Amino acid sequence: MPSPIALDLLPPTRRLLLLGIKERGEATAEQLARASYLSIAAVRMHLYSLESDGFVKHSRRRDGPGRPTHVFCLTPTGEELFPQGYAAIALALLAAIDSHPECKTQVFDVLEQIQQSQALAGVSAATFEGRVEKLASLQERQGFFPLWEVTSESDWKVTLRHCPFIRVAREHPEFCEIERRVIETTIAHGTVQSMGSRVGGAPTCAFRVVPGHEPEQGSEAAGE
């Protein structure tokens, strides 16, 4: 296994391809070639080199007649190139309290309170769209690589293309539920449903966001 290395220390082309895979969860050489304006042959050469270094791996997928397609995704070593949220420290602390269920519950309650407080402090807007914009910026700074999309007249989808806590979440999936509740509390007046998670085997974490009814301005004052 290669020694830990920062993403910024990799050659620009390989960094670009790793970012392309991270943004999609998984990608083919053809998809990466279109996005990077490189030839498919050049992309494949870099991908196989990244695979040799242990940063990516590929699987074969047959979507129809003809040769199967090679689909690339990051390995755990490749994931380490991206922010991991002090995973080693968190895992050590949680391992120390695993034998004390009551203490563990209290720890996760405190962690959620901290996450909620940070989110609410950084996300304040009168409209749902305004809160989404600020929450997306916060998630970007935290290393989640978020993608917010309108999927219908009333629904949104948020895709977290990186999880800075993935090593911890694999052993303690409570972190996934905490993040769902943080999104739900922060956007206010709506519900958030999990659509899949990397812990469960999906290439990304995704949530369906259904905005609720926004209170009319002045309604609170009128009720006082």
Integer Cα distance of 18 and 213 in angstroms? 40
User: What's the pLDDT score for residue 4?
Assistant: 46
Query: Rounded to an integer, what distance in angstroms lies between the CA atom of residue 7 and that of residue 14?
Result: 9
Cα–Cα–Cα angle for 128, 142, 22, rounded to 5 degrees: 100
H helix count then E strand count, the chain: 10, 7
pLDDT in the model for residue 217: 52
Beta bridge partners of 158: 148, 207
- For CA atoms 131, 137, 138, 144, give the dihedral sign: positive
What pLDDT, on a 0 to 100 scale, did the predictor assign at position 86?
Answer: 65
- Identify the architecture of domain 87-215 in CATH: 2-Layer Sandwich (3.30)
Q: Which residues contact 171 (CB under 8 A, 6 or more apart)?
A: 91, 94
Instruction: Please tell me the distance from the alpha carbon of residue 187 to that of residue 151, in angstroms, as a whole number.
Output: 17
Q: Are 162 and 22 in contact (CB under 8 A)?
A: yes
Tokens, residue 172: 């303690």
- Topology of 7-79 in CATH? Arc Repressor Mutant, subunit A (1.10.10)
Domain ranges of the chain: 7-79, 87-215
What is the pTM (predicted TM-score) of this model? 0.64
Among 132, 110, 116, 148, which residue's Cα sits nearest to residue 189? Answer: 132
Are 199 and 169 spatial neighbours (Cβ–Cβ below 8 Å)? Answer: yes
Strand partners, 196: 206
> pLDDT tens digits, the chain, 224 residues: what are they?
333 456 777 888 999 999 999 989 899 999 999 999 999 999 999 999 999 988 999 999 877 777 888 999 999 888 888 876 666 667 777 777 877 878 888 888 888 898 888 888 888 888 888 989 999 988 888 888 899 999 987 899 999 988 888 888 888 888 899 999 999 998 877 899 999 999 998 989 999 999 887 655 554 444 44
pLDDT of residue 175: 87
Q: How many Å apart are CA 42 and CA 150, to the nearest integer?
A: 35
- pLDDT at residue number 215: 56
Question: How far apart, in whole angstroms, are the C-alpha atoms of residue 72 and residue 52?
Answer: 13
Token readout for 138 is 């916060």
